[in-house]
Structure 1
């Protein structure tokens, strides 16, 4: 369960949003939509504890990281998963190593989904030794999905995850996110794509930026 309460954020002297409150339950998909620059990606960064709110709180599984870097690191490690527009892979690392980034320090035997199994599920069986920079964009996003399959996060934050993909790969990403939600994850997707907005169970629309 994710809860945002009375959140406010300024960027470059402009108010992006204030008194923003909502919750995303386990198994729910929420789409964030609105014009470019309206604060969708910034909100994802604040929820993901990469950026901080000016005021308000974010609670993940009942825990508020507040201003504690250690608590934020633990929440990112134990509860959060990310799916980025630019895939978020380390180009010179292997596919296998990129997937294992999501489970630092965990023994292979305690992974609920093995790397090999995750790669098979996203259609990249046997590609673990390939370098990320040798993959196509669609293949790189599949690796990012495999990383989520191995980590099994409680909350998934996806920033324009289909924008750089062809129709087949975009469909695969949405199906995978729906599967994560069905398994109990709270999924939040920032998007400009009407198809993604139509696909999501709930939509939160952002208006034009307030100049104040």
Structure 2
């Protein structure tokens, strides 16, 4: 099992975002995390990516405990995780090339041969844009750079937080098609979403409902 979450609890003040949350995501599966605003969808992805922490419970990635602060936890996150965030997660003053190179893990290859930056940019329709600064790109183009970064890294686990919410139909379809391709090639994909078309593509769902007290 690629991702195992067991008995996870998370609160925000008096609000219980979730209690005793348990789920698995295997290679080749896409999990949609759904629920109303404030239910903790983004927080769950932050916890899986170690941007935040569960109050209690555990996360295993490829059999390794990944929720702690130790070196082994950091390495498993570095080697296995890829991110696709609503705000694109790029460094504005860095070039497209530099933003993509951040994702490379020296000396390691993911599933198949390493993907060159030029090939990744061609795949997402950004040929010749490697030297542009990220802040010079439109929102849709920035999300394409984030996709190219995933293509270069080929992570085992992809965490996508509302990845289509700020995009037009063409760019949204590209994002969803590539996420499907990642799952088809053996990645475990977790998408926090409120969009019915995104949820419809998932192989399983987790529903979150925050409560007071």
Aligned pairs for 1:19-38 (under 5 A) are 19-38=20-39
- Residue 212 of structure 2: aligned partner: 211
| 1:114 paired to 2:106 | no
What displacement does 1:69 show?
3.7
Cα distance between partner residues in 2 of 1:210 and 1:49:
23
| 1:5 paired to 2:6 | yes
- Residue 185 of structure 1: aligned partner: 187
What displacement does 1:48 show?
0.9
**Unaligned stretches of 5+ in structure 2?**
none
State the 4+ residue runs in structure 1 displaced beyond 4 angstroms. 104-108
Aligned pair in 2 of structure 1 residues 18, 100: CA closer, same or farther (>3 Å)?
Answer: same
Q: Which stretch of structure 1 is more off in the superposition, 162-171 or 99-108? A: 99-108
How many residue pairs were aligned?
210
Q: TM-score, normalised by structure 1?
A: 0.94
Does the 8 Å CA contact 2:84/2:160 hold for their aligned counterparts?
yes
Does the 8 Å CA contact 1:111/1:150 hold for their aligned counterparts?
no
RMSD, aligned CA = 1.7
Cα distance between partner residues in 1 of 2:144 and 2:63:
31
Aligned pairs for 1:29-178 (under 5 A) are 29-103=30-104, 105=106, 112-178=114-180
Cα distance between partner residues in 1 of 2:100 and 2:169:
24
What displacement does 1:107 show?
8.9
Q: TM-score, normalised by structure 2?
A: 0.94
Cα distance between partner residues in 2 of 1:62 and 1:105:
22
Matched residue of 2:118: which SS?
helix
**Unaligned stretches of 5+ in structure 1?**
none
For residues 138-194 of structure 1, the C-alpha deviation after alignment (integer angstroms, 9 at most, x for no partner) is: 110000000000001000000000000000100000000000000100000000111
